[in-house]
Amino acid sequence: MRITHSAVYRWLTPVVILFIVMPFVLPRASAQQASRPGQEAPLLWFGGYGGFHLNSHSVEFTNTAIGENCCPDFPDQEGNGVAFGLLVEMPLSDVLRLQLRAGLQGLGSDFTATAEDARRTTVISPNGDTSVVPIIVEQRLNADIATIAIEPTASYYLMPRLAVLGGLRASLVSTFDVAYEEGIAEPTNVRFLDGSDTRANFSGELATKESFALSGVIGLSYDLPIAEQSSISPEIRYAIGLTDLASDGWKTNTFQAGVALKIALPSVGTTILRDSTFIRDTSDNVVAGIITPTTRLVDTQVKQDTLERNFRVLIASTITETYVRDVPSRKFNISIGDMRLLDANRNPLDAGKVAINQVDFVDNLPLLRYVFFDEGSGDLASTQLRLLSADETAGFDQNSLNSRDPLAVYPQVLNIVGARMRSNTSSRLTLTGCNSDEGAEQGNRDLSRRRAEAVREYLVNTWGISADRIDVQARNLPALPSNNSTEDGREENRRVELSSGDLELLRSVSSKTFIYESDINTLVGSLTVNADAGIDNWVMELKLKGELVANVMGTKESFGRIEWQIDPAKLMESDGKIDVELRARDRLGQELVENAIYAIDINTVQQKRSKQEVDKAIERYLIAMFDYDQAEITEISRQEIVELGNKLRGREFSVAEILGYTDRTGATDYNEQLAMRRAEQVLKLLKLPEDKTRLLPIGSRVLLFDNNHPVGRFYSRTVEVRVELDI
């Protein structure tokens, strides 16, 4: 049975009158429980509360989350519930307290409304005849709402024991279940066509619920002592909804009547606290001839203050001590020693005869033609691909990609294909969706097709490629699957494969950059720090264009040493200039700084060519990628290898290294054999002179890329051709 507002108003009226009368008829006392002489007033109260509350719901129902025809005509409704929880209260003064409550609260209600059905409804009469008649429907909505309420408030005592309060209530919505149905109100002797009394049934959690709601709280309370240092407090509270419980504009106000039980922490007697603050003032007195600094106390002053409040006595002492420190006056000097260059074998190099050479570097990276998906997923947004908006495609430039880093190029694979298809309007693309054929994906070709269609949708909607240029196919395992008995293999088989008769569409990505070569390996320097008074600290730093690259530090007199492993690329950025700085501080606080610049000759490609010096270029080609445990070369890779061989046979080069690699799967010996077969296949197509080629089956002894992701494993199944050319 639900209690109505009118019934609550009838029994709440005498409660309100009682709150007004009690301060005048009950014995007066202070706002806090009176304490015995010599006893400290309570510093903290704790306890619990409980009460009954009346809910007033106002709902706009502009959202159709419950049902298409649900709810717009419901009037504001009433409901009731209970609230209970724990509280803690802290007095700030005799008339002001802060309180924090946390507990559970029910805010349920029933909504009922009748309305003429705008639709003409087919009904069944008692004799079984069917007819289409206008009806009046009764709409019924039951809301079951439970919240976790956190309520901070402040109470002000207008007179002994009687307090007004105000604050906020933060409600975390834990339950928001609704049940909705429609019944025939008129005519009363008919049923719906399916023979039932109701239709449009809905039961479940409200989809538009908010997880958090905020209310303002005001109220009255009256403290009735029931024992020493404890009280029971009748109270009334009204909470005004400030934010919505649901995005349909669902607001709830509550009127609550209840009681709170408060128990004070045990009282203690008068407490005496002592606090001492030391202020030490030291001045230096420079004395010639002494070796060790000494400090002496020359004056002491004590000031004491006493503060009494709330049964506490604080005795604060301030002790001021004056010291004089006798310090020596001695010499202090620092210096940067010689800087020397060492090669990789730590042999010294002549700084005037070494240089850093800038060398052309051409890089080639095959396009990985697979898009990998998470298990059970056909969502392209959850992959590692970089998805652009339609507006962003205009600024996409595949030539700006760093082809030396496959893990940076791969996320752009669909953008590369989209840009190429946009340029070549006659090219076509086939997308083959695959799955791991295990667990939830077993035999799930619908999932494979959704994956392929997600790729096509991106190319069509973002890159503007006509849908009739893209064919979609679906299968379970790929035609050349990875080992499905391992998690790595299953992860690789959850993919969409890109293929095309237009080989240019899926060609490799190339870039040209520089690398740097030098005999220089290490820069070694020395320093000297001397201070007769003793060293506090010193630090020596090497910087390139203001960026710290190495340092060494100490706290003693020292002939120090610093070493820096030279990065030629960083040194090129600084024009070969190394800034050296030595800073030191002695125990007297004296500071010294010394700076030096060490320069190394830089020899760029442009400088060498202007001097008509012999130059060289290094070209690296990741020329082929292979499927799992395969050494067969794809048609796209075959064409690129033949083209590379034709180009190299017409140029002067000293050596061509052909390096075969595998991923981490399998035994090392087997992988080395597989890598050799892959390298031999590439060598056959290159047709280079045998005396200028060298096969190196690396296998899995060196993993080219991170093998914790399918992309890194596929790019590790490759053959690298590294050629040094004379220019």
DSSP string, 98-166: EEEEEEEEE--EEEEEEEE-SS-EEEE-TTS-EEEE--EEEEEEEEEEEEEEEEEEEEEEEETTEEEEE
Q: What is the DSSP string of 669-691?
A: HHHHHHHHHHHHHHHHHH---GG
pLDDT value, residue 418: 95
The residue among 58 and 352 whose pLDDT is bigger is 58
pLDDT band at 494 (very low <50, low <70, confident <90, very high): very high
Domain boundaries, the chain: 5-264, 271-327, 332-358+517-606, 381-497, 616-726
The residue among 185 and 633 whose pLDDT is bigger is 633
Same CATH fold assignment for domains 381-497 and 616-726: yes
pLDDT value, residue 258: 94
Place of tokens 């309420």: 149
SS3 519: coil
The length of the chain in residues reads 727
Residues 253 and 241 sit within 8 Å (Cβ to Cβ): yes
The torsion defined by the Cα of 354, 356, 360 and 366, in degrees rounded to 10, comes to: 120
Q: Treating both helix axes as pointing N-terminal to C-terminal, what angle do 668-686 and 635-649 enclose, rounded to 10 degrees?
A: 60
Residues 679 and 647 sit within 8 Å (Cβ to Cβ): no
DSSP lists the bridge partners of residue 470 as 429
In angstroms, the first-to-last Cα distance of the chain is 97
Q: Which of 225, 231, 223 is nearest to 157 (CA)?
A: 223
What architecture is the 5-264 domain classified under in CATH?
A: Beta Barrel (2.40)
In this structure, which CATH number among 3.40.50.2300, 3.30.300.30, 3.30.1330.60, 3.40.50.300 belongs to the domain 616-726?
3.30.1330.60
Q: What phi, psi does 8 have (nearest 5°)?
A: -65, -40
Question: Of 70-74, 415-419, 528-532, where does the model show the most confidence?
Answer: 415-419
Strand arrangement of the beta sheet that strand 470-474 belongs to: 370-372, 495-499, 429-433, 470-474
The residue among 544 and 476 whose pLDDT is bigger is 476
pLDDT band at 1 (very low <50, low <70, confident <90, very high): very low
CA distance 361 to 61: 66
Residues 493 and 434 sit within 8 Å (Cβ to Cβ): yes
DSSP at 682: H
CA distance 466 to 605: 46
Average pLDDT (671-688) is 94
The residue among 385 and 349 whose pLDDT is bigger is 385
The residue among 467 and 94 whose pLDDT is bigger is 467
CA distance 236 to 256: 6
Place of tokens 């060196």: 702
SS3 258: strand
SS3 303: strand
Average pLDDT (243-263) is 88
Residues 473 and 452 sit within 8 Å (Cβ to Cβ): yes
CA distance 37 to 345: 88
Q: Which of 477, 499, 479 is nearest to 490 (CA)?
A: 477
Q: Which amino acid is at 101?
A: R
What is each CA distance from 462 to 78, 420, 422, 455, 542, in whole angstroms? 51, 14, 11, 11, 49
In this model, does residue 249 exceed pLDDT 90? no
Share of the chain above pLDDT 90, in %: 36
Q: Which of 283, 662, 709 is nearest to 494 (CA)?
A: 709
pLDDT band at 664 (very low <50, low <70, confident <90, very high): very high
The residue among 101 and 110 whose pLDDT is bigger is 101
Residues 73 and 115 sit within 8 Å (Cβ to Cβ): yes
Beta strands in 591-717, from DSSP E residues, in sequence order: 591-599, 601-603, 616-625, 653-661, 693-699
Q: Which amino acid is at 478?
A: P
Q: Tens digit of pLDDT for each residue in 565-574?
A: 777 777 777 7
Instruction: Please indicate, yes or no, whether the overall pTM of this predicted structure exceeds 0.75.
Output: no
The residue among 330 and 421 whose pLDDT is bigger is 421
In this structure, which CATH number among 2.60.40.290, 3.30.1330.60, 3.40.50.10800, 3.20.80.10 belongs to the domain 381-497?
3.30.1330.60
Parallel/antiparallel/unpaired status of strands 470-474 and 429-433: parallel
pLDDT value, residue 217: 95
Parallel/antiparallel/unpaired status of strands 312-327 and 271-286: parallel
Q: Tens digit of pLDDT for each residue in 156-166?
A: 999 888 999 99
Query: What H or E segment, with its residue span, contains residue 713?
Result: helix 710-716
Residue 612 CB neighbours (<10 A)? 7
pLDDT, averaged across the chain:
82
Average pLDDT (629-645) is 90
Sign of CA dihedral 226, 227, 229, 230: negative
In this model, does residue 291 exceed pLDDT 70? no
In this model, does residue 177 exceed pLDDT 50? yes
pLDDT value, residue 33: 41
Q: Tens digit of pLDDT for each residue in 509-566?
A: 877 766 666 666 777 877 888 887 778 888 888 888 888 877 888 777 666 677 777 7
What is each CA distance from 646 to 78, 685, 690, in whole angstroms? 87, 10, 15
Q: Is 332-358+517-606 a CATH 2.40.50.140 domain? A: no
List the single range of 28-37, 91-100, 472-481 with lowest mean pLDDT.
Answer: 28-37
